[in-house]
């Protein structure tokens, strides 16, 4: 269920690495727990974040949740489609519903995150 080409955090974010950059998003598990997403606060391009820092928020009919950076770096793009279509996070959380892209400050940080099999095991335990 979870793509093998990315790493996952225990806070239910993912990162897909490509040449010193990472595309970030929330997982299928996260969007399922949130329910219907109605608003997304995106990070500003240029923002510096450390691993574990808050990038922005996602508002659903159930709650407002923070999105955390699974790795550190500088935000180089935010998915503007989410401004007018926040439900993309529900429909395609691992594809068109990506959240932002960052230039990694330390590509080795991603090695501390879970692979798809470990993340799937985490979600089965209900975390």
Q: What is the pLDDT of residue 122?
A: 95
Q: Give me the helices (H) in 18-125, please.
A: 28-34, 81-84, 88-91, 116-124
Query: What pLDDT is recorded for position 121?
Result: 95
User: Is residue 126 assigned to a domain?
Assistant: no
pTM of the model: 0.94
Is residue 2 in some structural domain?
no
HSE, side-chain direction, 13 A CA sphere, residue 120: 8
Domain count of the fold of the chain:
1
What residues form DSSP beta bridges with 13?
Answer: 26
Q: What is the pLDDT of residue 126?
A: 66
In a domain, 48, yes or no: yes
In a domain, 127, yes or no: no
Within 10 A of 89 (CB to CB), how many other CB atoms are there? 26
Domain that holds residue 60: 7-119
- CATH code of residue 115: 2.40.50.100
Rounded average pLDDT per 10-residue block, the chain, 127 residues: 94 96 97 96 97 96 95 98 96 97 94 96 83
User: Is 20 a domain residue?
Assistant: yes
Q: What b/e sequence results for 28-59 when a residue is b if at least 16 CB atoms lie within 10 Å of its CB, and e otherwise?
A: bbbbebbeebeebbbbeeebebebeeebbebe
Alpha helices in the chain (DSSP H): 28-34, 81-84, 88-91, 116-124
Residue 127's pLDDT is 61
């Amino acid at each position: 269920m979870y793509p093998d080409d990315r790493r996952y955090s225990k806070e239910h974010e993912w990162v897909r690495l490509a040449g010193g950059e990472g595309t970030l998003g929330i997982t299928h598990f996260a969007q399922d727990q949130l329910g219907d997403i109605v608003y997304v606060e995106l990070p500003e391009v240029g923002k510096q974040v450390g691993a574990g820092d808050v990038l922005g928020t996602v508002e659903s009919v159930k709650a407002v949740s923070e999105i955390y950076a699974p790795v550190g770096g500088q935000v180089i793009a935010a998915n503007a489609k989410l401004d007018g279509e926040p439900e993309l996070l529900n429909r395609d959380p691992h594809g068109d519903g990506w959240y932002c892209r960052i230039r990694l400050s330390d590509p080795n940080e991603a090695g501390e995150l879970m692979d798809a099999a470990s993340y799937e095991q985490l979600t089965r335990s209900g975390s």
